[in-house]
Amino acid sequence: MKPQRVAVVVGVGVLGASVGWNLSRSGVDVVLVDAGRPGEGVTNWSFSWANASNKTASKSYFDLNVAGMEAHRELARTIGPDSWWYPDGHLRWAADPAAERRLLQTAELLTSWNYAVEVSTGAEVRRRLEPALTLPDDIPVLFYPDEAWVHGRHLVSRLVSEAVAAGAEHRFGTTVRDISTGADGSVRSVALSDGSRLAADIVVNAAGPDAADVAGLVARHLPMRREPGVVTRIGCAQVPVRRAMHAPHVEIRPDGNSSVVLHSREIDALIDTGEEPSELARLLHELARQVVPDLGNGHITQTRVANRPIPADGFPSVGAWSSVPGYYEAVSHSGITLGPVIGRLLASEILSGERDRLLTDFHPERFAA
């Protein structure tokens, strides 16, 4: 009889929770380890937009994100949508003719790849979809009906609960200090900062912004970008918008019944100038009020500057690193879109040793040099 396999999943954001859930329901003994609480790191401070329309840098990356969207739909059918899944589509429009042309060119490309996109006018969008918006009547607006927003913290909580029900353990509020290997170089155990040591033959590095540090524990160099982003939550008596949207200078989405999330690449560019997070939040709120005037009645409740977990070339690092048998990575930006599909595909690779073709371009070995 084969001994039971034990997997330590390091980092319990949406990627780690998805991998842990898939492994535990397949009979693996799983221990979920996180320095904080599950889903309260980068997962909770993301724009949380499930999409492939913004993933056209390569066809393989686009295909992986399309699979990610389908994996979300399948997950909602499996565990129920509860309070985490909001498939109401996504809106995008531009402020100047050059940016508008680029958006329409992207829409043509996506249509050629059989991705659903509708071109409407500002007037039509206000009439059919979002009456609270302020935008010109004749401006072209792209509507992506198959896209969604995700409440990441609620999704992670549900996946962790399901994994625990399937037999998983968790160690929250502690970090990984050491990964020990045997004479053959394979994973043998994991030491935690609380003084405990876990016997394990599988380690999944899903540590997000800290993934390079965890990789270093097995002498693996995982190059990561430094790309901080600021997200602000606005408290509202009544949320005035129903779906995620990219306006010309700010991104806006609902965040439940009494909150809206704001983000802007333009405001991100101010982080390293020394502006205080409270001032960045004020600027985000002002930009959002210009698009949705009703947000002027809201108030800033939370703001966080967080580092995005982006490997150096901008693409995911998912799969085994052959130099240390038993060590795997699940590190990616767009974790919200990709969490369920990476969780399923990586769990399958761990169990079978076979790599799915969707992950061919995103294997950790590309950083081996």
What tokens does 208 get?
A: 């997000």
Q: Which amino acid is at 212?
A: A
- pLDDT of 348 higher than 90: yes
Is residue 118, in this structure, part of any structural domain at all?
A: yes
Helix, strand or coil, per DSSP, at residue 64: helix
The average pLDDT across 336-345 equals 98
Q: 3 pLDDT exceeds 90? A: no
Helices 59-79 and 152-165, packing angle to 10 deg? 60
Provide mean pLDDT across the span 324-352.
97
Residue-wise pLDDT for 287-336, tens only, equals 999 999 999 999 999 999 999 999 999 999 999 999 999 999 999 999 99
Q: Measuring CA to CA, which residue among 48, 86, 96 is closest to residue 247?
A: 96
Neighbouring residues of 275: CB distance < 8 A, sequence distance ≥ 6: none
pLDDT at residue 185 above 60? yes
CA end-to-end span of the chain, whole Å? 39
- For the chain, the domain total comes to 3
CB 206 within 8 A of CB 19: yes
What digits encode the pLDDT tens for the residues 271-281? 999 999 999 99
Q: Which of 174, 190, 158, 176 is nearest to 79 (CA)?
A: 158
Which residues, 6+ apart, have CB-to-CB distance to 34 below 8 Å? 10, 11, 12, 16, 41, 170, 171, 172, 173
The answer, yes or no, to whether residue 1 has pLDDT greater than 80, is: no
Say yes or no: 237 and 298 in one domain.
Answer: yes
Q: What angle do CA 272, 273, 278 make, to 5 degrees?
A: 90
- What average pLDDT does range 35-43 have in this prediction? 96
Q: Are residues 234 and 286 in the same domain?
A: yes
Q: Which of 123, 145, 167 is the last residue of a domain?
A: 145
Q: Mind listing the pLDDT tens digit for each residue in 27-37?
A: 999 999 999 99
The verdict on residue 60 lying in a domain is no
The pTM score is: 0.96
Domain that holds residue 277: 228-307
Q: What is the pLDDT of residue 328?
A: 98
pLDDT value of residue 2 = 56
Q: Evaluate whether 345 touches 320 at the Cβ level (below 8 Å).
A: no
In terms of domains, do 123 and 177 share one? no
- pLDDT-derived band at 368 (thresholds 50, 70, 90) equals confident
Last residue of a domain, one of 116, 145, 174: 145
On whether both 12 and 131 belong to a single domain, the answer is: no
84 located within any domain? no
> What pLDDT, on the 0 to 100 scale, is given for residue 225?
95
Q: How far apart are CA 271 and CA 202, in angstroms?
A: 38
Q: Is residue 64 part of a domain?
A: no
Residues 327 and 206 in one domain: yes
Distance CA 214, CA 218 (A): 8
Asked if residue 191 and residue 289 are part of one domain, the reply reads no
Q: Which tokens is 351 given?
A: 């169990």
Q: Give yes or no for residue 369 having a pLDDT over 90.
A: no
Element spanning 157, H or E? helix 152-165
pLDDT at 116 over 60: yes
Q: Are strands 85-86 and 148-150 parallel, antiparallel or unpaired?
A: antiparallel
Residue 63 lies in a domain: no
**291 and 238, same domain (yes or no):** yes
Last residue of a domain, one of 307, 340, 358: 307
**131 and 169 part of one domain:** no
